[in-house]
Structure 1
Amino acid sequence: MQRWGMALAIMAGCWWGVLWPVLVCLLLALAAGRGRASAWLWMPVACLYGVWQMQTGLAQRLPDDLQGKSLTFTGQVISVPENQARIRFGRRQQEQHFTFETDDHPDWPGSHRIRVSSYDPPRAVNGGERLQVQLKLKAGRGLYNATGLDLARHDLAQGVAARATLKGVELLEPGAGLSHWRQRFAGAVQDAVASSPIAKGVLPALVVGDRSGLDNRLLADFQATGAAHLLAISGLHVAIVAGAIWWLGRLLLVPLCQWLWPFTRRFTQQQLAWLPALFVAAGYSALAGFSLPTQRALVMLLVLAVASLRRREVSVWNSLGWALLAVLLTQPLSALSQSLWLSFAAVAVIAALMMGHSGRRLMLLLPVQIMLLSAALFSQWSLLAPVANLVLIPLYSLLIIPLTLLGVLSGLDGLLEGAGAAVELSVLIMRWLAELSAPMGANLPLPTVTSALCLMAGLFLWLLPAVPFPKRLLPFWLLPWLTQSLAPLEEGQWELTAFDVGQGLALAVRTRDHLLLYDTGASWSEGSMARSIILPWLSRNGVVPDRMVISHGDNDHAGGNRDFAGSIPRLSGEPDRVPGSAACVAGDAWNWDGVRFSVLWPPEDRPAGNDASCVVLVEGKDWRLLLPGDISRDVEYRMLGQWPEVDLLVLAHHGSQSSTSAALLREVRPDWALASAGYQHYFGHPHRAVLSRLASSGVTVLRTDEDGMIVFRGDGHDNVPLITKWRQQHARPWQQPAGWRFW
């Protein structure tokens, strides 16, 4: 129990990054009693260790004065480079992404890990090479919304201090070390199955954890069926390899050793078989780059091996506790990683379910529990995950993974081709199951972390043979999930949600019973802002857009249009560039729940480009909102004398100098303005001249690049709007500068 307490204390220190949890742990240790206090005093020490590691990690991040600067570093590539061909700025180009560990630099002392991106590089970078590189640095700030990836937390958990764009590279020493050999293995596998794009993407992921060959559709197939865990070298893969070597060692190697070296006969065959099993498991984990799941598996195997040598039984809970504590002591900031939570939660669920269920029931119940946790962590339902895993786990465990590893070790391409054929079969099964499951999850809200834990607890209690209360009360565990929703609105009240989508625009205007989606953010070859941020937000809150307005056809406004059902009515200023949309024409209007939506621009003889943007006025009970898209000053001047006064103005064209004229501000007279722009983007939006005009007019500016997702609700108390800025009201330690704080 003590090891679990210490592990949880480290996690608390890392997650909160302040000192009050240390005081709580100290009080808990003192409350344990005089005889046990000395043992529990390790809890505040562990918590303080977590806080210290958090502050150390924050202090190592890129300093503000180096943001956007180009520096020359020497260092080594410590990851397998990811090579992809993508469409960027309208043309196809080669991209490469890798992790680079720098040597000491006078402008940035110490060694740092930098995640480097290279676009059409003059030469391909290889794993293990020592290089001299010129990097344009930027902080891994990322976007911040109620849903989607928190890049700042992700980078801190991975030990990445900054991100950068490669501007120049010079080879100092050829590739060597672990990452070099991992890349060689990945290349050999890809060459052996080059005729199968699916196998070429999946098999390197199973051998060395290289997922760069997975295209967007293939990755979506695994995610949609809850089988994405098969692509990461996890405890399952390591256990399969260790188990196979253990049996082979017990049957073949150990008897030979006992015949050659009589002193080994003091140990049983079961005990000696652990040595080759641990050795091979460590080698396989090294191929995976010692990812968190493989570290957990290695520690658990080591605990079991020690227990076997000492002829003691050890429970799964004890080995799991030792594994968690060992990982957190060596890599405390991994407590912020979703991989750690999913990996250890899976084993914890297995241990809990094993207490009262047979293996066959465990195969059914485990995927259900993991499905719930995955839905909360990764914002995607996989309702047929139990069925998919019943088929795919044995297929990968008994056929694909053994064939792949034997093919790599033996150099026989035929084995790899056989594994590739089995992978193609698995993908056919997944796509069939994904088609079946898509309608099933369409109307089910995604759970939050809290509601998912309640669902998992309720399901677990329901499966126990006996609980200390009537089982008819267990449906109450569903309430956090069934009741999760947005705050109710009154008749005539509206609420604007501005998503943080970088250099783009995505807005949701909600009335009491309806929702308008205005623009959808950008898209790229392997995803979109809509898929990663907007759709999970809609699903989590159980709402569906009643209408979409895509202001015009530029990617930063219309990119996510493809991700929404074609049955949703659409209006656009450029219907020829936005599939499935009708023309947006001045004079169009509709009413929802006492809120009027009016189209002010464009006219029938619409211009082209940004000036074709669909301009919408939202009028509620004493509150008005203007959504101008990307119109320029030309449209603003043409509409002079027709602009209404509003309370909130969304800045046109992200606050560029070409819009938001002084003449417009004199007519509109907003109290608040909202700019949706990328953080320190090279376009420089919102422009200084626009900010100066707004300041001169007494307008309060809200910015997604500084505030994250913004929620603005009209008709607040005392005629003051309710404004939620995500980076302030939902701030976390990793979004703040380093500094010791009690609260």
Structure 2
Amino acid sequence: MALSIMAGCWFGTLWLVVFLLLMALLAGKGRITTWLCLPLACLYGVWHLHSGLQQRLPDALEGKTLTFTGQVISVPQNRERFRFGRWQHEQHFLFLADSHPQWSGTHRIRVSSYDPEKRVNAGERLQVQLRLKAGRGQYNATGMDLARHDLAAGVSARATLKGAAVMGSAGGLDFWRQQLSGSVSAAVDSSPAARAVLPALVVGDRSRIEGGLLSGFQSTGAAHLLAISGLHVAIVAGAIWWLARLLLAPLCQWLWAPCRRLTLQQLAWFPALGAAALYSALAGFSLPTQRALIMLSVMAVASWLRRTGCLQSSLGWALLLVLLIDPLSALSESLWLSFGAVAIIAILMAGHGGRRLMLLLPLMMAVLSAALFSQWSLVSPLVNLVLIPLYSLLIIPLTLLGAVTGLEVLLEAAGTGVELSVLVMEWLVPLSDSMAPFMPLPSVSSALCLLAGLCLLLLPGLPFPRRLLPFWLLPWLTQSLPPLSEGQWELTAFDVGQGLAVAVRTRDHLLLYDTGAAWSGGSMAESLIVPWLSRYGLSIDRLVISHGDNDHAGGQRVFADTIPRLSGEPTRVAGSEACRAGQQWHWDGVTFTMLWPSVTTFSGNDASCVLLVEGNGWRALLPGDIGRDVEYRMLGQWPQTDLLVLAHHGSRSSTSAALLREVGPRWALASAGYQHYFGHPHPQVLKRLEESGVTVLRTDQDGMIVFRGGGPDNVPFITKWRHDFARPWHRQAGWRFW
């Protein structure tokens, strides 16, 4: 039944329900009642999926500013970030908005506030002016799918705060959590790492974890230690269970005779579940803690009923209860990770000792994490072998005891443990980075094959020879993009929001033109481009950074210094040489020609490298952010092209009518952010392109775009990720049979 609910949430179509119903009818009279549960469970998942989609922001309200009343229902995250040439304070929080005349019902909205006049507090009741925006995010072959993430979390929209007035004072659980977070952070103020990590372990406040500290935890596979999850709740419940079994349960049996009807193990579950519930409350009853509570409750009920069912049975019941309570959690990576970890433990425990379990579990979890989060953590088995006992036995217990008792000495001792864990990660991060290029990232399907092969390897008996097991590696080892012939090229425009990142692939070479934006602790290149390169076993032969603005050059630091770099502003792009008109190189029958800049007096947008790609009679023009002045200066020199990447994301200051007449493109590609306040591509540019008969491709609407010339009847292959690989949550709610 749990799998049926998952299938309903992931596919959202009725054909699967009908198929399961037919299976139930064919099962026979004796089993039809049991089999009918499967189509009903699937329909339950489909119904909840479409109910969740109907709660999302309507298209008519996209980009509008409305006034809401409601309450702050999360601990606000406060950050200082360098944006637009200055340091800016940001605040992010979850807001439960009351019903509005234009948007009925209550809705959870994730609000971002930039340089607010007054910071909001958890639990406050506010009247706010919000500029609304759907949680679309970027959609590429790799990277996070924000639409699915928000749907799983019950977030209906995202918004920018334009104004706020306090209607009711702060209070309640969330306000107390905010106060506790501040006091814990202040107690270890002398340790930057402890000040950031300890509030995350107590109340789930991760707002202080950023920059190098966050990337260190992520690259070593230890990021799960920062989020209060099943591991943390299980540690607390397990410690209280052992203490209650040794001390409290015998005392209860001695003082109160009815307790003697239960064993010490059964009595110990009451305080253990109570402690788990209190810790989950500290974390704001996040979805991972709710799942951990349900799993522990299943185990407690089995103990009270004196059922000694196997771990697989308990896991199945727990998963079913989780999905019955919150079906859309089936779309969450954290559910797959947590239940996947327990399932792997159950498989490994069947006939294997504890030592083998400790060695094989991190390996299988590394494969699962690589598929879910698009990042190898090749040193994670070693890191977790050290850090999980350190956090389980020292840091988490001392942190919670210090937070509850107010003893700063305990928090300082926990902070010392955090500093030790950071030293371990700093020592191992270079090792992980050096190993990653040799391990292609698995897709979800190839990761499942890898895990299946490892599980079969561990079984005591197989119905086929073990020498056939390496065939399970083939889906992973044969991941590749379609081959290209001599003279053929393929252009991939990544969906990087308000920025530009384009990869041009020939038969045996790859050029990356711009890298998207970067921010404190991350970049588009790190989260999208590097996983894409790793999955398909590609390496960059040349990097062209059009100019030095962050939305074009921000991610170039991610790539190795040994990669040759060209830039229109070499003084702003470290390690690059100046690109100049007339530069040319040939790869696999494809010619790359630099058309601009021809002089060195330009800077900023007008200094952008303008690159022409041509092969097999197909041409593409990549003009960076040049404006009309450069376009007019080059009149008479522009070549005819098939594909034009719009300069400056389709800004009104570029793509003049004179340029379009001379270039005569058949397709134009705009790389811009969805509903961005710059408003790119500009309506005047779009009208100009329409009047010229140009077909417009847009990353904000189409997601990642792949353009490859040389198709049948001289028509190119064009792949639009949001259309060709659309999932139910990328569309409007609506019942579909197929």
Q: What range is the shorter-chain TM-score in? A: over 0.9
- Pairing 1:706–2:701 present: yes
Instruction: Give the match for residue 379 of structure 2.
Output: 384
Contact 1:299 1:322 in 2 (8 A): no
Contact 2:210 2:520 in 1 (8 A): no
Q: Distance in 1 between matches of 2:78 and 2:691?
A: 49
Candidates 552, 559, 565, aligned match of 1:564: 559
Q: Distance in 1 between matches of 2:568 and 2:294?
A: 59
Candidates 307, 310, 313, aligned match of 2:308: 313
Give the CA deviation at 1:98: 0.5
Q: Distance in 2 between matches of 1:435 and 1:383?
A: 11
Instruction: Give the match for residue 180 of structure 2.
Output: 185
| Paired amino acid for 1:121 | P
Instruction: Give the match for residue 77 of structure 2.
Output: 82
Q: Deviations over 1:685-733 (max 9, x none)?
A: 2222222222222111111111111000011111110000111100111
| Paired amino acid for 1:176 | G
Give the CA deviation at 1:191: 1.4
Q: Distance in 1 between matches of 2:35 and 2:358?
A: 37
Q: Secondary structure at the match of 2:295?
A: helix
Instruction: Give the match for residue 131 of structure 2.
Output: 136
Q: Distance in 1 between matches of 2:106 and 2:632?
A: 55
| Paired amino acid for 1:93 | Q
Instruction: Give the match for residue 531 of structure 1.
Output: 526
Candidates 51, 55, 62, aligned match of 2:46: 51
After TM superposition, the score normalised by the length of structure 1 is 0.98
Instruction: Give the match for residue 673 of structure 2.
Output: 678
Q: Deviations over 1:347-391 (max 9, x none)?
A: 111111111211111111111111001111111111111111111
Q: How does 1:572-591 map to 2 (within 5 A)?
A: 572-591=567-586
Output the aligned Cα RMSD: 1.2
| Paired amino acid for 1:373 | L
| Paired amino acid for 1:689 | Q
Question: For this pair of structures, how many residues does the alignment match?
Answer: 738
Q: Deviations over 1:186-231 (max 9, x none)?
A: 1221111111110111111111111111122111111111111111
Contact 2:214 2:521 in 1 (8 A): no
Q: Distance in 1 between matches of 2:585 and 2:598?
A: 17
Instruction: Give the match for residue 34 of structure 1.
Output: 29
Q: Distance in 2 between matches of 1:205 and 1:29?
A: 48
Contact 2:202 2:400 in 1 (8 A): yes
Q: How does 1:48-447 map to 2 (within 5 A)?
A: 48-447=43-442
- Pairing 1:9–2:4 present: yes
Q: Secondary structure at the match of 1:381?
A: coil
Q: Distance in 1 between matches of 2:430 and 2:551?
A: 30
- Pairing 1:485–2:480 present: yes
Instruction: Give the match for residue 624 of structure 2.
Output: 629
Q: Distance in 1 between matches of 2:699 and 2:576?
A: 27
Instruction: Give the match for residue 655 of structure 1.
Output: 650
Compare 455-464 and 347-356 and name the one that shifted more: 455-464
Instruction: Give the match for residue 593 of structure 2.
Output: 598
Q: Distance in 1 between matches of 2:95 and 2:332?
A: 20
Q: Distance in 2 between matches of 1:251 and 1:442?
A: 50
Give every structure 1 segment of 4 or more consecutive aligned residues whose post-TM-superposition deviation is greater than 4 Å. Answer: none
| Paired amino acid for 2:43 | L
Q: What residue ranges of structure 2 are gaps of 5+ in the alignment?
A: none
Q: How does 1:541-556 map to 2 (within 5 A)?
A: 541-556=536-551
Compare 488-497 and 390-399 and name the one that shifted more: 390-399
Q: Distance in 2 between matches of 1:710 and 1:93?
A: 33
* Change in CA separation of 1:281 and 1:67 when aligned onto 2, cut-off 3 Å: same
| Paired amino acid for 2:542 | R
Instruction: Give the match for residue 511 of structure 1.
Output: 506
Give the CA deviation at 1:244: 1.1
Instruction: Give the match for residue 458 of structure 1.
Output: 453
Give the CA deviation at 1:680: 2.0
Compare 705-714 and 172-181 and name the one that shifted more: 172-181
- Pairing 1:715–2:710 present: yes
Q: Secondary structure at the match of 2:122?
A: coil
Q: Secondary structure at the match of 1:312?
A: coil
After TM superposition, the score normalised by the length of structure 2 is 0.98
Contact 1:304 1:314 in 2 (8 A): no
Candidates 464, 473, 476, aligned match of 2:468: 473
Q: Secondary structure at the match of 2:700?
A: helix
Give the CA deviation at 1:734: 0.8
Q: Distance in 2 between matches of 1:324 and 1:627?
A: 50
Contact 2:215 2:521 in 1 (8 A): no
| Paired amino acid for 1:574 | E
Give the CA deviation at 1:430: 1.3
Q: Distance in 1 between matches of 2:223 and 2:287?
A: 16
Q: Distance in 2 between matches of 1:360 and 1:207?
A: 31
Q: Distance in 2 between matches of 1:504 and 1:671?
A: 23
| Paired amino acid for 1:654 | H
Q: Secondary structure at the match of 1:484?
A: coil
Contact 1:147 1:537 in 2 (8 A): yes
Contact 2:133 2:675 in 1 (8 A): no
- Pairing 1:24–2:32 present: no
Candidates 626, 643, 659, aligned match of 2:638: 643
Instruction: Give the match for residue 612 of structure 2.
Output: 617
Contact 2:708 2:718 in 1 (8 A): yes
Q: Distance in 2 between matches of 1:645 and 1:610?
A: 23
Q: Distance in 2 between matches of 1:739 and 1:85?
A: 41
Q: Secondary structure at the match of 1:405?
A: helix
| Paired amino acid for 1:354 | M
| Paired amino acid for 1:590 | W
Q: Distance in 2 between matches of 1:632 and 1:503?
A: 17
Q: Distance in 1 between matches of 2:637 and 2:615?
A: 19
Contact 1:133 1:170 in 2 (8 A): yes
Instruction: Give the match for residue 3 of structure 1.
Output: none
Q: Secondary structure at the match of 1:512?
A: coil
Give the CA deviation at 1:663: 1.6
Percentage identity across paired residues of the two chains: 73
